[in-house]
Chains A and B, each alone.
Chain A
Amino acid sequence: MTSPLHQKIKVAGPVVVTANRLTDGAVIYRTTNGQWTTELPGAEVVTTSDAAMALLTAARADLVRVVDAYVAPVVLADGSPRPGNLRERIRAAGPTIDLPASAATSDVHVCA
């Protein structure tokens, strides 16, 4: 069996590396300077398998800040990445439904 570190990633177009933030599970994206952002337009976009693998390997080495990093497809609009499929659209924008009525007024969490 091939080690995950040596597996090839199929890349058919622009991709980013995304994960969930450890502290709260928020959706985050790997940036060009090795940091993480909650905004997809700030993500590093790569287009080759080797570049995606390198980005993913670096992301997975960040054991403390992130969970479940993986490569996700994007489409470029005016040079800026947008989610490449429905799952990623929902991850980026949140549920497609209105949250229950009191949710809007209860967004006061115990931690800022």
Chain B
Amino acid sequence: MYVHDAFDRRLITERVEEFRDQVRRRLSGELTEDEFKLLRLLNGVYLQLHAYMLRIGIPYGTLSSAQLRMLAHVARRYDRGYGHFTTRQNIQFHWIKLENLPDAMAELARVGLHGIQTSGNSVRNVTTDQWAGVAPDEIEDPRVWAEVVRQHVTLHPEFTFMPRKFKIAVGTATHDRAALRIHDLALRLHRNEAGDAGFEVMVGGGLGRTPFLAKTIKKFLPKHDVLSYVEAVLRTYNQFGRRDNAWKARIKILVHELGAEAFAREVEQEWLSIKDGALALDDAALAEIAARFRYPAYERLADDPLELKKALATDRRFDTWRRNAVARHRMPGYAIVTLSLKAEGETPGDATAAQMDAIADLADRYSAGEIRVGHEQNLVLPHVRQQDLHALWRALDAAGLATPNVGLVSDIIACPGLDYCSLANARSIPIAQDLTRRFRDGDLARGLNRLHINISGCINACGHHHVGHIGILGVEKNGEEYYQVTIGGRADEEAALGKLIGPAVPYGEVANVVEDIVAAYVELRERPGEIFIDTLKRVGIEPFKERVHAAH
């Protein structure tokens, strides 16, 4: 858990009071909408189809139970009793009133939460692995590096009005759980042949209308140089990125048009001029930041305690959930628990105030008061003693938070789509809900192994459809909702963009097409354990296309 200091608190509080005055001036007519829009976007306030939306960043996906309770309180008091966790470790409230925003923000500020740089052409929330600090396969806690970057870019005047928004992700584990290659800038910590840890720097990833995977421009950057190198990337983008056309303004276009090598040369030139200056990190500064991340006082425990074995042997539903939602922790005797926000028929990523309160209570009781938010729109309890798993499961089950579908076909990523979003062309949520009903049979879903479906309601791709094993993109054709379906995308360490499987299909056909793709996979896989994406890699897209074409 990160500990905020007086500087952090003052910065957020002052911004709230500044925004309160801006809202007052807008409501009185002193500010026009054109003037105010820029100001509200600096604070994460959007206007959507039916209401204002407040987006709150959750840096590196880490929440305290007090913060989650405050989110529940804001949901109840200022919104409609729920919030929506997004694909970028943010939460959104979709029904908040302009006149209530300053009060809501002031309450959020009391626990260190805010919407600064969750919109506009700024450096957005720096994201990372939701298992940060507890994953057995990581080199070190990535949140320290995410925090180093976050502190530097927060309200940095040089990077407040860039050509477009800028998304940074940090990963330090063998497995990429942070979707690194779809970010504008990604930092992946790894070890070189000498055993030293340094960053692979990737730039120019992004989805949207023109999807690209990030390209490596530096294979090994010493850790202490990370801040100067990030600054050099941002400066290069700020200088050369296009400002004449919003569709061509992201860094991915610049890297593509300039070429990764030429872009890297520009960055290198800038970096060499600043690397030994004020941004060179020293051990004391790093230690000071690392010390703000506090871990629980772990007990000396052994894996697979007797009470867990007994419960698993006697309670089949618990065993099913444990196999699906519980992962190994770096500390013996502990576990990482994922809470699915994808119950049958529900909206992916939505949590009610009552659920948030329940999770906060369970985090206090079983997870050292800490909760994580992942880009798949699920929550995580990161420090659970294995001996407590059965009791935790019973409580989660009672709260409707023990759906054992993590990583399965019904664990769908979906943006809010046309039900909320003013940019959308088609709905996402009802498609996701329909699919969770189609694949409600848990045994069937588990038999399909890991299978990611991602849905976006427009080409902006907030639902990451390009990197879904099965991707669904809503488009508008002659006033009707149609959906393009892609297969073969993935957001992990073997990141890839999906390929179209055929012409777009109408709303009512989407779930049928997905069922056909899944049926083709079951027929084509070599053995029950071969996952969808591996079958597709082995046989190619054609057999899947044939199956879908034959049926539609």
Contacts and interface: CB of A to CB of B under 8 A. Distances in A.
A76 interface: no
Contact of A96 (B26, B98, B99, B427): B427
Interface in B268-318: none
A24 B99 contact: yes
Nearest to A88: B49
Interface in B19-66: 26-29, 32-33, 47-52
Interface of B is mostly: mixed
Contact of B80 (A25, A87, A107): A107
B97 A23 contact: yes
Nearest to B28: A64
A47 B48 CA distance: 27
B479 interface: yes
Nearest to B104: A110
Contact of B418 (A22, A24, A86, A106): A86
Contact of B26 (A22, A27, A86): A22
B103 A110 contact: yes
Interface in A18-63: 20, 22-27, 63
Contacts of A103: 80-82, 352
Given A22-B98, A25-B50, A64-B29, 15 more contacts: A24-B99, A25-B52, A25-B97, A63-B29, A68-B47, A95-B419, A97-B430, A97-B433, A99-B82, A100-B82, A103-B81, A109-B97, A110-B78, A111-B97, A111-B100
B420 A20 contact: no
B364 interface: no
A109 B447 CA distance: 45
3 interchain residue pairs of minimum CB distance: A106-B81, A95-B419, A25-B51
Given A22-B27, A103-B80, A111-B100, A97 B49 contact: no
Given A26-B51, A91-B50, A99 B27 contact: no
A25 B48 contact: yes
Given A63-B29, A91-B50, A25 B98 contact: yes
A19 to B, nearest CB: 10
Interface string B51-93: 1100000000000000000000001111111100000000000
9 contacts: A23-B98, A24-B99, A25-B50, A86-B481, A95-B50, A96-B430, A101-B352, A102-B354, A109-B97
B347 interface: yes
A105 interface: yes
- Range of interface residues on A (Cβ < 8 Å): 20 to 34
A61 B353 CA distance: 40
Nearest to A100: B82
B100 to A, nearest CB: 6
A85 interface: yes
Contact of B352 (A95, A102, A110): A102
B49 to A, nearest CB: 5
A20 B47 contact: yes
Interface of A: 20, 22-27, 63-64, 67-68, 85-87, 90-91, 94-97, 99-107, 109-111
Interface string B308-348: 00000000000000000000000000000000000000110
A111 to B, nearest CB: 6
A105 B347 CA distance: 18
Contact of A68 (B32, B33, B479): B33
Contacts of B427: 96
Nearest to A27: B50
Nearest to B46: A25
A102 B82 contact: yes
B429 interface: yes
B373 to A, nearest CB: 17
Nearest to A94: B50
A90 B82 contact: no
Contacts of B75: 106
A102 B81 contact: yes
Nearest to B31: A63
Contacts of B352: 100-103
B78 A25 contact: no
A21 B479 CA distance: 26
Contacts of B29: 63-64
Contacts of A68: 33, 47
Nearest to A68: B47
Contacts of A24: 51-52, 97-99
A87 B423 CA distance: 10
Contact of B347 (A22, A91, A100): A100
Contacts of B103: 110
B147 interface: no
B99 A100 contact: no
Interface string B388-414: 000000000000000000000000000
A100 B78 CA distance: 16
B459 to A, nearest CB: 16
B176 interface: no
B350 interface: yes
A109 B80 CA distance: 8
Residue picked from B29, B33, B77, most chain A C-beta under 10 Å: B33
A100 B50 CA distance: 17
Interface in B84-131: 97-100, 103
A73 to B, nearest CB: 9
